[in-house]
Amino acid sequence: MGVVNLTPDSFSDGGRLPDLASGLAHARGLIAAGADILDIGGESTRPGAEPVAETEELARTLPLIAAVRAESAIPLSIDTFKPGVARAAVGAGAQIWNDVTALRGAPDSPDVAAELGCDVVLMHMQGEPRTMQASPAYDDVVAEVAEFLAARAEAAMAAGVAREKIWLDPGVGFGKSLVHNLAILAHLDRIVILGFPVLLGVSRKSFIHKLDKTAADPADRLGGSLAAALAGARAGVAALRVHDVRETVQALTVEAAIRRA
């Protein structure tokens, strides 16, 4: 899953795609590099990010969804926690609602997901983006994340979302310290075993900087991103949300060839 951030303030690539032409060129590049899904977002969820009005989020994302859909059949995902944005994105041609709040962003989110009939990514986050990194705390992070995701899948199904439409994501970096992130990455099998496809987002995240103090610039975190992506692949995750598609596809290709041999 290649990341297309149509935001001025995303942590690694904010402001790089200020208009439709640059967004479309980036999307085409990710497709050519081997992406199987594009995740399009119009609001940053990094710690401390400013909220974005629904009209602004729609203005950022809908034109690109429509433009990519007009020339490619690649599945598109909308990265939003607003049901109104998800509804409009699916109307414009998106197939997946990637919701970092696991359908807790609005009271009607589960009903809207059921009505849209699209795939839904349910991600774990402790707290909310503005404050989530202040003091994340767990007794047993892996067990608590797994329990949360199982409960959100149940809530989605109770609202009418079909079981086969549900993806789970442990939410690396969302209300988690370095120790929490590493525990999750070391025990991804306990999320995979819940029986839903798992999406993992580790690309360029700050836990890599905490392990390599020289990697303050997110663009300098490719090595760590690939190491964590391969850990995910070995644990059986179904999809990796990444900025560097070509390099990740190459790493996965080599990993798979070694496994086959």
Residues marked as catalytic = 205, 241
Which is it for strands 199-200 and 239-240: parallel, antiparallel or unpaired? parallel
The least CB distance from residue 163 to ligand HH2, in Å, is 19
State the virtual CA torsion across 66, 53, 202, 128 in degrees, nearest 10.
Answer: -150
- Residue whose CB is less far from ligand HH2, 131 or 254: 131
3 state DSSP class of 79: strand
Near ligand HH2 in 97-136, by CB under 6 A: 98, 100, 121, 123
Task: Name residues contacting ligand HH2, limited to 17-46 (CB under 6 A).
Answer: 41, 44-46
Number of residues that bind ligand HH2 (CB under 6 A): 21
Record the tokens describing residue 100, joined without a space. Answer: 């970092």
Using CB under 6 A as the criterion, what x/- string covers residues 158-187 for binding ligand HH2?
Answer: -----------x-xx---------------
Cα dihedral 30, 33, 38, 44 sign: negative
Closest CA to 96 of 24, 20, 37: 37
CB of 258 to ligand HH2, least distance (A): 26
Give the residue among 112, 108, 89, 91 at the shortest CA–CA distance from 39.
89
**What x/- string results for residues 220 through 259 when contact with ligand HH2 is judged by CB under 6 A?**
---------------------x------------------
Integer Rg of the chain from CA: 17
Write each residue from 186 to 215 as x if it is in contact with ligand HH2 (CB under 6 A), else as -, in one continuous string. Answer: -------------x-x--------------
Residue 146 C-alpha from the chain's centroid: 17
Would you give the distance in Å from CA 143 to the centre of its chain? Answer: 21
> Shortest gap between Cβ of 251 and ligand HH2 (angstroms)?
18
Distance CA 261, CA 257 (A): 6
Between 123 and 251, whose beta carbon lies closer to ligand HH2? 123
Contact positions vs ligand HH2 (CB under 6 A): 3, 5, 7, 10-12, 41, 44-46, 79, 98, 100, 121, 123, 169, 171-172, 199, 201, 241
